[in-house]
Amino acid sequence: MTVANVTVDGGRTEGSATSYRAGIIGTGFMGEVHARAIRVNGGEVAGVVASSERRAAVAAHTLLATRGYAAVEELLADDAIDVVHICTPNYLHYPLAMAAIEAGKHVVCEKPLATNPQDAVRMAEAVTARGLVGAVPFIYRFHPMVREAREMVRSGGLGRVVLAHGSYLQDWLSGAQDDNWRVDARLGGASRAFGDIGSHWCDLLEFVTADPIRAVNARSATVNAERGGRSAVETEDVVVLQFETEGGVLGTATVSQVSPGRKNRLLLEVSGSEASISFDQEDPEKLWVGARQGSRLLVRDPDVLSAAAAPYAGVPAGHPQGYQECFANFVADTARAIGGQTPDGLPTFADGLRACRIADAVLRSAETQAWTEVES
Ligand SMILES: NC(=O)c1ccc[n+]([C@@H]2O[C@H](COP(=O)([O-])OP(=O)(O)OC[C@H]3O[C@@H](n4cnc5c(N)ncnc54)[C@H](O)[C@@H]3O)[C@@H](O)[C@H]2O)c1
């Protein structure tokens, strides 16, 4: 473990014990969230790269980074950085991650890992070949009540899983003028709503049930065919999905970025032969546990959570914890992996590849209007 003196916020110096010296590429929404999560774990935001040298300098100040770099090459050549966090638009994930791996850095790469499965395969193979950690922030895995749900399935508390369903709904692209780089397939990938948020839902389903999706039957719609000055939007606003798992469980999911009033409503419900569970990401302190008699609402409390979930409860009961703490938990587990441990449930590049394969099957199914197997 090295000890770095980190100069932060107008020259204030903090002694910070850290073996997590991170460089962040891309300093928008996710770059800021990652920076906070790194610092809260005692790590160092050693440097940042933004879309220009001037923006990197501004972001270095805002994100309390040690320095801003003019170019990615400078960050990758710096021995002061052990792990690179890639928080850029999706089309840059593949080239940036491959360059970071080539430079011998561990990599945290935002989802979707790549814009196609072929690139994701190369990324997963490259980290393995170099003995590096490659992690992907499927962040909802790090809610304590998700861990509790997973433990209930694993320990048999639900009985035999018989059905899974849910949705991931947002509204930030519901207006015809709403626009973002994600709308452009060249920057975000061919699948937008599914690649962006449906991938989270499927990851959470497979994480909680440990039962991979075998085949999908998807339909998609582009509700706003013109948007923000674009005349022919190619990426989808909505996906409705039927699926069957390897274990023979049937399910459905609805994914939308055009549902007014729904901000980030990820809902996952799993029915078993004995009990059901339902988790709502916008109300993450609670887990509904359904039963023929005596349904109950389990409220997050580290004193009563299972041993698998309690470590992810960072604050006592009654003090709500949420999204940012998920990232803190994720970075803590990534640091453990870099330290040689194998944290249970850390989403790796293999999981990122898996999500790319599901997105690819969804695209193919929507095009052919047929049930389509997910490549394994
Ligand atoms: N895990 C999650 O919960 C989660 C949530 C939101 C977004 N994401 C993912 O994070 C990534 C970033 O999304 P965001 O919402 O932060 O987007 P954003 O638009 O807020 O930020 C992207 C940043 O990348 C910068 N950028 C663009 N090109 C660059 C380049 N060549 N070099 C350096 N910086 C460059 C942009 O200037 C911008 O600041 C996406 O892949 C997205 O899918 C993940």
- Structure confidence by residue, pLDDT tens digits, 1-41: 232 333 322 222 233 334 899 999 999 999 999 999 999 99
Number of domains the chain is built from:
2
Ligand 1 neighbour 152 (Cβ under 6 A) = no
Residue pair 204/146 in contact by the 8 Å Cβ criterion: yes
Domain contains 339: no
Q: Which of 24, 27, 30 to mutate to test the pocket of ligand 1 (most atoms within 8 A of CB)?
A: 30
In the sheet that holds 134-135, the strands lie side by side as: 44-49, 21-25, 83-86, 106-109, 134-135
Domain contains 217: yes
For residue 25, give the CATH number of its domain: 3.40.50.720
Do residues 80 and 179 both lie within one domain?
Answer: no
Do residues 221 and 189 both lie within one domain?
Answer: yes
Residues 6+ apart with CB under 8 A from 165: 251, 252, 253, 269
Q: Which of residues 100, 117, 139 is at a domain's end? A: 139
What pLDDT is recorded for position 185? 97
Q: CA nearest 160: which of 249, 95, 82?
A: 249
For residue 359, give the CATH number of its domain: 3.30.360.10
In the sheet that holds 213-221, the strands lie side by side as: 296-299, 286-290, 276-280, 265-272, 161-169, 250-256, 238-245, 213-221, 372-373
- Structure confidence by residue, pLDDT tens digits, 148-205: 999 999 999 999 999 999 999 999 999 999 999 999 999 999 999 999 999 999 999 9
Q: Which of 24, 27, 29 to mutate to test the pocket of ligand 1 (most atoms within 8 A of CB)?
A: 29
Cα(341) to centroid(ligand 1), Å: 29
Domain contains 262: yes
Q: Tell me which residue has its CA closest to atom 25 in ligand 1.
A: 26
What pLDDT is recorded for position 313? 97
Do residues 209 and 303 both lie within one domain?
Answer: yes
Domain contains 55: yes
Do residues 62 and 164 both lie within one domain?
Answer: no
Mean pLDDT of the chain: 94
Counting atoms of ligand 1 from 1, which one is nearest the CA of 55?
A: 37
What pLDDT is recorded for position 19? 80
Do residues 169 and 128 both lie within one domain?
Answer: no
Do residues 153 and 37 both lie within one domain?
Answer: no
Do residues 41 and 121 both lie within one domain?
Answer: yes
How far does the chain reach from its first CA to its final CA, in angstroms? 39
* Count of positions (residues) in the chain: 376
Cα(89) to centroid(ligand 1), Å: 5
Ligand 1 neighbour 89 (Cβ under 6 A) = yes
Q: Tell me which residue has its CA closest to atom 30 in ligand 1.
A: 51
Domain contains 321: no
Domain contains 166: yes
Do residues 67 and 160 both lie within one domain?
Answer: no
What pLDDT is recorded for position 282? 98
High-pLDDT (> 70) share of the chain, %: 95
Ligand 1 neighbour 111 (Cβ under 6 A) = yes
Domain limits at 262? 141-316+347-373
**Quick one: average pLDDT of 96-121?**
98
Q: Which of residues 88, 106, 139 is at a domain's end? A: 139
Do residues 124 and 159 both lie within one domain?
Answer: no
Q: Tell me which residue has its CA closest to atom 39 in ligand 1.
A: 28
Ligand 1 neighbour 193 (Cβ under 6 A) = no
Domain contains 172: yes
Within 10 A of 332 (CB to CB), how many other CB atoms are there? 21
Do residues 70 and 120 both lie within one domain?
Answer: yes
d(CA 20, CA 23): 10
- Structure confidence by residue, pLDDT tens digits, 232-266: 999 999 999 999 999 999 999 999 999 999 999 99
Ligand 1 neighbour 26 (Cβ under 6 A) = yes
Residue pair 71/54 in contact by the 8 Å Cβ criterion: no
Ligand 1 neighbour 143 (Cβ under 6 A) = no
What pLDDT is recorded for position 9? 29
Q: Which of residues 112, 139, 166 is at a domain's end? A: 139
Do residues 90 and 215 both lie within one domain?
Answer: no
Domain contains 331: no
Ligand 1 neighbour 195 (Cβ under 6 A) = no
What pLDDT is recorded for position 21? 98
153: phi then psi, degrees, rounded to nearest 5: -65, -45
Do residues 172 and 292 both lie within one domain?
Answer: yes
